[in-house]
Amino acid sequence: MSWAATAGGYLTIFVAAVAVELAARGTGRWPTLGEAVAAVNRFRTGRAILLAAWLWAGWHLFVRASWG
């Protein structure tokens, strides 16, 4: 796989997510992203997983540490 193929894979998943969101808002057959997050948020374990994922994303993307 090349860089373009790998990045294209991410782009495909992102486009699919946008398509699902638009279809959910249009047809109502599927939950929107907000509704899905709310459904996970109803359970204590789900809230903990969402919080951990949010913290991980923030740490992973925004913390700049120099290890050397």
Partner 1 sequence: MWAALVVALAAWEVAAFLQLPRSAHPTLSSLANLAFESHPVRAAAFALWMAAGYAMARR
41 sits near partner 1 (criterion: CB under 8 A) = yes
Q: Which residues of 23-41 are buried (b: 16+ CB within 10 A; e: fewer)?
A: ebeeeeeeeeeeeeeeeee
Residues 34, 38, 40, 43: what is their CA dihedral angle, to the nearest 10 degrees? 170
Per-residue binding string, partner 1, 2-31, x by CB under 8 A, is xx--xx-xx--x--xx--x---------xx
Under a CB-based contact definition with an 8 Å cutoff, are residues 37 and 50 in contact? yes
**Among residues 28, 61, 66, 67, which is the contact residue for partner 1, using CB under 8 A?**
61
Return residues touching partner 1 (CB under 8 A).
1-3, 6-7, 9-10, 13, 16-17, 20, 30-31, 33-34, 36-38, 41, 50-51, 54, 57-58, 60-62
